[in-house]
Structure formats: C-alpha cells, structure tokens
Amino acid sequence: MPNRNSCIAAICSLFFLLLISGCASTRTSSSDPVEDDEPQIVEDQSEELTITEEIILPAEDTLLEAENDAAQETEEDPQASTEKLSEELTASETEATVEEEVKQLEALGSWEEGTPEEVTEEAEVNYDFPVTMNRQVEFYLDFFQNKQRQTFTKWLARSGKYLPLIQQQLKEKGLPLDLAYLPMIESGYNLTAYSRARAVGPWQFMRATGRKYGLTVNDFVDERRDPVKSSAAAIAYLSYLYEDFKSWHLAVAAYNAGEGKIRKAVRKYKTNNFWEIAQERYLRPETKLYVPKLIAAILIAKEPEKYGFTDIEYDEPFEYETVEVPRWTTIQAVSVAIDMDFEELRNYNRELRRAITPAEQKRYPLKVPIGTKELVEQNLPRVQAVMTTKYQTHKVLKGDTLTKICSKYNLNKTTLLKANDLQASQLIPGKNLRIPYRTTEYKLLSENEIASKIKPAEASPENLVLHKVRPGETISEISKRYGAPPYMIAAWNNLPSIHSIRAGQQLALYLTDEDKTLSPKALSAFEYTTPITTVTTVAKRIPETETEENSDTQLTYYQVQGGDTLWTIAKRYNLTPDKIRRWNQIKGDTIYPGHRLLLKIKKDVDV
C-alpha cells in the first residue's frame, strides 16, 4: 500500500506540474501590446459582478471575460456597485478572421520560401515605414481586396477621422507617419474595440500597459478609448521599442507579442531581421502575420484606387476644442446645452465610461465640436434636470419572493409593495408587478424661466429688513413670519447652521415691503455658476430608516447648480432627499439653480 500510494502521489504531482506548464505557455491574444516573457502586473479580480455593462461580443465565453473585467475595474469605486454603466464595447473586428488567416498563411509554405524583397517599382507615394513584398504581404493584399473587402472599406472610411491627428503626433515625435495605419489592423480605428484578452481602444492597450504609459483607467475614465491620449501613449511605446530593437519590423512585432518575446528571439537567433526570425517556429503565427498585414494595409491605404477601392467616403477629421466642466457633469446635459445629438457628442468623449465626468476631478476638459465652447459655458447653467419615476414590469415566477425581487431590482420591500398596492402575502405567480425606477431628463430653461427664478442683483436699501431675535425665537418661526427659507436667512447672515441664532442678534433679511416676498437682492445672493449634473440612477434603494448624524458630520451650504435635483444631491453626499427637505423646510422636489441648501455631511467629504 505505501508503495502504491507513493506512485499515485507521484503521478498526481507530475500531472499537476504539466498542467501548470501548459497554462503558463498559453497566449491570450494575437494583437495586444502586452509583454509575453516580462513580469506582468497582476490585478485582483472581483468574484462578484456588481455592475452591468452593455457589451456586444461574439461569443458567450468572451462576454464572461468582459464582465469579469468590468467587475475587476469596479473594485476601484465601491459606489459603482449601485450604478448601471452607460458603456458600450464592441468586439474587435480584426480578431474575427485571425484563425482563418493563420490557416491560409500556413498553407503558403515556409516563410523561408517567401524571402522578402524591397519594392523597387516606381510609386506615386513615399513610404517611411520599411515596405517589403513577399508571399505573405501578397496574401493580405488579396485578402483585403476580396475576402475582407467590406470590412477594409469601413476601416478606410474611418481612417479619415483619426489619421490626421495621429500623423500630427508622429510628426512631432519624429517617427514614421505610416505608423498611423497600425490602429487599422489593431482595431479598424474603433474607439470601443474590445478584444478577447481585454485589450481596449484603437491601439488595443491592455490595462497595465496603458497605465504604464500614462493612461488613466478606472471606473469613470478609460483613456485607452481616447484617440488623442491613447495615440500619444502608443507613440511613446513604439518609440521605446524602436530604440530597443533598431528595426521597425521588430518594433511593431514587439508591440504585438511583447518586447520580452522579441528580445529573446533576437538573442536566440542572433539577428534583428524580422523575416529571418519569422522563418523559425519561435514566434506565434499571430505575431508573424502582424508585420505583413500592416505592410499590406499601408500599401492599400496610401493608394486605394490602385487596389480597387474607389469612391471611399472618408469620415471628417476629428477636430474639437475643450471646455472645462465640473465633476459629475453628464454628456446628456451638455448635449442639451448645445442642441447636439447625445451619441454624437458622446463619441467626442468615449473615454468617459459612464458618459459623466469623473468625481475625483473638480474640473474636467470635455471635448466639444469647434465653435461650441462658448455655447456650453453660456447654456449649461440653464440646463435643469427633471427627475421622474417610471415603471417596468416583472412577472412573478414560481419561487419568487419579495426579497428575491427586491434584490434583483435594487429596491426595498416597502417601495415595491407601495408601488403595487400590495400586502406581502399577495405575491402570486403570474401576476405582473410594477417596478419603479428613476430617470433623468434635461431641459434648457428659457430666458423668461431663468428670470422668474433668479433675477439680477438690485442693491436697493429699502429691500433690507433687520430683525432682532427674541428670547426663545427660532429661525423656523422667523422664516414663517417673513416667508424666507431658513437656509437663505442663514446664508445672508453667514450662520454656520440654521440653529445658530441667539437672543438679541440682528438678522438681515432682503424682502419687498409690499408682500414680504424675496426681493431681487435676496435672490441675487444665490446666482448660480457652471452647473454640476449627475448620472441617471436606476431603481435606487431607498433606506427604510435613517441613521442619526454624529460628531463626524459638519454643516455646510451647497449651491444648487443647473441640472441638480434633490435626488442627485442626496446621492452625491450619501444623504436622502427627505433629510435635505427637512433641514431646509422644502416641500416637494422642486429646487432652482442658485438656491443654497444646508447639508450635514461627513467631515472628510469634499464639497
């Protein structure tokens, strides 16, 4: 028995070692700029998917990878678990035919038989990337003209949008302008391209590599999808690779396979000639095809009519200007401010994963069409958010419980029961339930609407009323007497809270003599500046009980911005709308830009 057990143990150990060895040698992608043999940055994976992303991918296993990546990135922002990201990712078009390409290239025979020769024929265009011709390049010339003609036509059209800005950056760095065609074979110039290996953007950066070259990747922002910043990062990476290998063929091969893999190949075969290395079996087929594929793309893109691509309708060049907007500003609000289609404006700022500016930046440089910056600055304060409750339907299934349904839609039981006028015992299979959720729509206030809410300053002494606080008098009593909200009285007199008054104190109130309503002078104290807007929330959980404030809280005033609602303000500061209403004696949900709200928030919260 001991001997038998020892043998079994030895066999199991050997199998385990072989399994580990096999996993270690498995590659993940054919077109991702990530190290193969260099140490990799390993980031924690979330075991529980707490958000959903709208991801269009070709296979179920790929979708799981994308969801896992989404969960992984969400760990950086715990609050993201209650948000639905308004993010769309698309499967990388360049991956769709890779297996077919590899099979057909292998059928061509040895790479040694296709020794490259320099292009010698006279051409109307110049190439600053080393263009060579061999059977592999010829294969891709044929492949793009026939099998993949429709897709390549789309890439050519899309190149018109991004090629000029990439070439300008390459020119500034003194690199070959033909490298601007590399995103064509990486992603087809698709900003939202997402590979099976989780590479993202036009240059298909892995997250670790992107961060290494200065790209921000977090729950709000993914600059791998920013055409300007991702191009700058890719150019820096390519420049580094060329300095290392002194060969553009090897540099772009390293961009695909990882610099460690190519560095070992150079040492192993004692050559820096890509084509000689390609003759060996050391490189993966996906890396070998990368260089001839790029060369073929350059040849066709620079002379499309020569290869039968006529009447290409190129996209207009990507031109923009930036305008600084506050954090939490939604692209939807800005699109209303400049009367522009939401999706069109969103394409200017694809790095914003939620279509909202990040919370950690007080001001964010938003890209807008040239000529609209002043319009944003002028109109954004006039954009008002309107929060409404809508309903979707849930059909009760056998086995459903209130807890299960509430968990699915992020509701509490009281909200669900009230929305359906139900008792807990009335949950019947087959019955349709109304599931409430919140949506935000944006409206551009007219000049008359603005004037009726916030008027110009008028420094009229007759509007000033001085009130002497009587013993035992509260600010609520003063508020009712003069018709001025407590928070306004506190703001006019620089009170730290609405409770900070004492007997004998004189309070300044700006009222009209006729009807004791707020005067223009009073309203002018709350004139608004550039707005803060927030992302739409879906079926937010409403606490059934409120926790009392403690010594960790502070009193502060928040000035209502264009686009704000009680809901969005409460969410931002981890409060409830009811608390804000109670502290400021507000009835209903209506607030206006310029008003100041008293808030009790944690001391470590940045206002």
Q: Return the closest-CA partner of residue 163 out of 325, 316, 339.
A: 316
Q: Return the closest-CA partner of residue 46 out of 80, 94, 9, 8.
A: 80
Residue 217 zone, left/alpha/beta (φ > 0; ψ -120 to 50; rest): beta
Q: Return the closest-CA partner of residue 534 out of 382, 326, 323, 329.
A: 329
Residue 470 in domain = yes
Q: Return the closest-CA partner of residue 154 out of 348, 314, 316, 318.
A: 314
- For residue range 240-291, what is the model confidence (pLDDT) as tens digits? 999 999 999 999 999 999 999 999 999 999 999 999 999 999 999 999 999 9
Q: Return the closest-CA partner of residue 597 out of 580, 577, 578, 575.
A: 580
Which residue reads 């309903």 in tokens? 391
Residue 39 in domain = yes
Domain boundary among 472, 500, 524: 524
Residue 574 in domain = no
Q: Which residues of the chain register pLDDT less than 50? A: 1-11, 14-86, 113-114, 454-462, 513-550
> Do 248 and 101 reside in the same domain of the chain?
yes
> Do 461 and 315 reside in the same domain of the chain?
no
Dihedral pair phi/psi, residue 250, rounded to 5° = -70, -35
Cα-based distances in Å from 556 to 375, 432, 495, 507, 533: 31, 44, 10, 19, 19
**pLDDT given for residue 477 in this prediction:** 85
Q: Residue 507 sits in which domain range?
A: 455-524
Q: Which residues of 509-535 are buried (b: 16+ CB within 10 A; e: fewer)?
A: bbbbeeeeebbbbbbbbbebebbbbbb
**pLDDT given for residue 518 in this prediction:** 44
**pLDDT given for residue 498 in this prediction:** 66
Tokens, residue 219 = 């729950």
Residue 377 in domain = no
- Total number of domains in the chain: 2
- The answer to whether 42 and 188 are in contact (CB under 8 A) is no
- Residues catalogued as catalytic: 186
Domain boundary among 524, 556, 579: 524
Distance CA 326, CA 383 (A): 14
**pLDDT given for residue 321 in this prediction:** 97
Side chain identity at residue 102, one-letter code: V
Residue 202 in domain = yes
Q: Specify the CATH number for the domain of residue 171.
A: 1.10.530.10
Domain boundary among 319, 340, 366: 319
Pairing of strands 383-395, 432-444: antiparallel
Distance CA 23, CA 20 (A): 5
The helix/strand count (H/E) of the chain reads as 24, 13
**pLDDT given for residue 476 in this prediction:** 80
**pLDDT given for residue 60 in this prediction:** 30
Residue 568 zone, left/alpha/beta (φ > 0; ψ -120 to 50; rest): alpha
**pLDDT given for residue 138 in this prediction:** 93
Residue 147 in domain = yes
Distance CA 376, CA 368 (A): 9
Residue 309 in domain = yes
Residue 434 in domain = no
**pLDDT given for residue 28 in this prediction:** 37
Whether the model pTM is above 0.85 = no
Distance CA 315, CA 188 (A): 13
Q: Specify the CATH number for the domain of residue 518.
A: 3.10.350.10
